[in-house]
Structure 1
């Protein structure tokens, strides 16, 4: 009798152990299934990612639709300049270039915020256009470029090409057009020279110094020399309101709706040539310069009155022009250019963007050929690339000084045409100093 209960208890114990083992195995299977599902979800989510490392040698991967409402939140490493929380709701299209490319996906809206912008980072994320019909091309996942020697350049389908067709359209809307600046119908005047001055929003006091010194010869844009200040768009509402008030007083600012950054200076220069050729086609000559310059306008006008230079500028440009300059491959330099953005070993001959002269005819030709010349972020090099495409010539003229230090009275001499890095206080000192010039 005692043996049967013990046997029954043994069987029940074994059954309990089996049930526990079965439950444990079931739990393990469930956990493994959940882990597998999580892994699949994580892998899928990686398809929408933003990957940016500081410097030019890394890629920016964004997966967007063509109707993206663009609001960015991108960190470029150790930032030198910060744009905080800017966004805009117009349709966006971002230039497809070797450094940063966009790819279409089935995402409806991707909202990002750009909180930092590094001066030496070449990522143009922000172009408000009037037309957005161009489809954004797909991007390759990652590229590694190996430079095997000075004369052996890598050839990658995403590197900058020498020419294209309608790949760099400049079709931004004007926010401030100032169409009247070159109007001469009432006064029957001629315009010998139009001066395009590249500036930034915060430099209102600098612009005022220019107006009261070497730009005073334009007589508030009523003389035979006219001027405009060139600006893009800012996300700082206070700065924009200040610019609008300034323009209400002086009416000498031209602004388009591209984002105003150092890396977008090419857009600013092409805007200037566009405005010159469409709003000031009655000008004879065009000068592009910057707001930290001394420009000896009377000497320039005198120089342009000679037939030799006047004839030359119908097919060329002049200034502080240089040849045989190689791209800077060191990322720590302001004028860095990666192998993707510029694969050739040298630049074409170019004139320093601090100040160069050409005719209205050439300015118009450069603007009209620019859609077929792929973007490059150094504006004076880009103008040179357009000039090469057109078969134009460039020559150095003595008196254009991109970097020079002179005594106060030397600035006013006829053989000094431009000088770079001149502060507003220095401009005022030069202007107010009485000099005996021989």
Structure 2
């Protein structure tokens, strides 16, 4: 007996029961669950289930960027390190598919969130402990003085083959829990930091146009984010819609020509004698306006491997000045006294950012700086 012939013998109550079960199934699905992103070779499609959040955006994914075989003909190419060879071979590449996205980090398309300070933290996929510490200390998403502080970690990929897939899966699980990671499918390296910056600025231009100010920093800095909010609130006539770029200013710097140095730049990459002024890449503050200007300038300026220098190049091309801030220390710091501990929380309490802290030092210092019993002044402090 066929299925159709058997269905003829179902009673009316059975049909009624079947209909009820079908309705229960359809209405039992939670209406606040977002459909997962769908990736294929040509487009990324995002669908949201809630009626008030209907958002269907089709974004063309960039094609796979092919190696520039002509780079091998650059004089001296065979004698360069693999990192420099790779940079020269893929220097023209600016578009890479996203693995992890945050389409609504800055609010909905029709209802943007008023984010005062966006913390943009460069990290590596393997640096889970650092990210976890920052989420519990200075990068914790919160409101201060009535202003929202939000956090994004930006990264590429590590390793290859199974190791790369395993790390990406772990990062995806972390992202699912915290919703604060942007990841692109490019290989992490020191010479790809500029690429990471450009990819973020492109994302910010699409997803987060209304953010007022940004902190661009590394995951090994101690940042006093409350001080940053108060400093930015005290600016005269600048709500983020005007130029601002402040940090530890470096002037009259020259390309390092010593082979073997981490910062070695051969003349084949940069022939000019001196770099323009720039801020140390460990951390600097900029306005949303300035971030947009840098992104637009980057479209016509060839990628340079040292990211903080490249930011200076974009600003110089736009004829925008950078400002020093005594509270930003990205090249270490010096206390001219043998009787003072440079890790004294009273000293840290007045700063904005200091580079090179371990996760343990960040935790300890954060709690010490926020210790209500801390008394700073002429009285000798013990820590």
Query: Taking structure 1 as the reference length, what is the TM-score of the superposition?
Result: 0.61
Change (3 A) 1:248 1:417: same
Q: Is 1:425 matched up with 2:351? A: no
Question: Contact 1:276–1:360 (CA<8 Å) still a contact in 2?
Answer: no
Is residue 2:103 matched to residue 1:179?
A: yes
**Is the 2:112–2:210 Cα contact (8 Å) retained in structure 1?**
no
Gaps of 5+ in 1: 1-89, 104-116, 128-166
In the alignment, which of 346, 349, 356 is matched to residue 410 of structure 1?
346
The DSSP-based 3-state class of the residue aligned with 2:212 is strand
Q: Distance in 1 between matches of 2:69 and 2:293?
A: 24
CA–CA distance in 2 between the matches of 1:188 and 1:332?
47
Deviation at 1:321, TM superposition (A): 1.0
8 Å CA contact 2:119, 2:139 repeated in 1: no
Q: Distance in 2 between matches of 1:185 and 1:269?
A: 23
Instruction: Say if 1:299 and 1:264 are closer, same or farther in 2 by CA, change over 3 A.
Output: same
Contact 1:126 1:258 (8 Å CA) reproduced: no
In structure 1, what is the Cα distance between the partners aligned to 2:249 and 2:96?
A: 30
* Helix, strand or coil at the partner of 2:135: helix
TM-score normalised to the size of structure 2? 0.69
1:369 aligns to what SS in structure 2? Answer: helix
Farther-moved stretch of structure 1 (313-322 vs 223-232): 313-322
Matches of residues 27-426 of structure 1 in structure 2 within 5 Å?
91-94=64-67, 100-101=71-72, 121-124=84-87, 168=92, 170-183=94-107, 190-218=114-142, 224-234=148-158, 235=160, 236-308=164-236, 310=238, 314-402=242-330, 403-404=332-333, 406-410=342-346, 412-414=348-350, 416-426=351-361
Contact residue 409 and residue 430 of structure 1 kept, 8 A: yes
CA 1:303 to 1:96, structure 2 compared with 1: closer, same or farther past 3 Å? farther
Question: What residue is the counterpart of 1:24 in the other structure?
Answer: none
Q: Which runs of 5+ in 2 are unaligned?
A: 1-62, 75-79, 335-341, 378-383
Offset of 1:331 from its aligned partner?
Answer: 1.2
Cα drift, residue 318 of structure 1 = 1.0
Shift of 1:273: 1.6
Label 1:408 to 1:121 Cα distance change in 2 as closer, same or farther (>3 A). farther
Give the conservation status (yes or no) of the 8 Å contact 1:94–1:124: no
In structure 2, relative to structure 1, the CA distance for the partners of 1:265 and 1:362 (3 Å cut) is: same
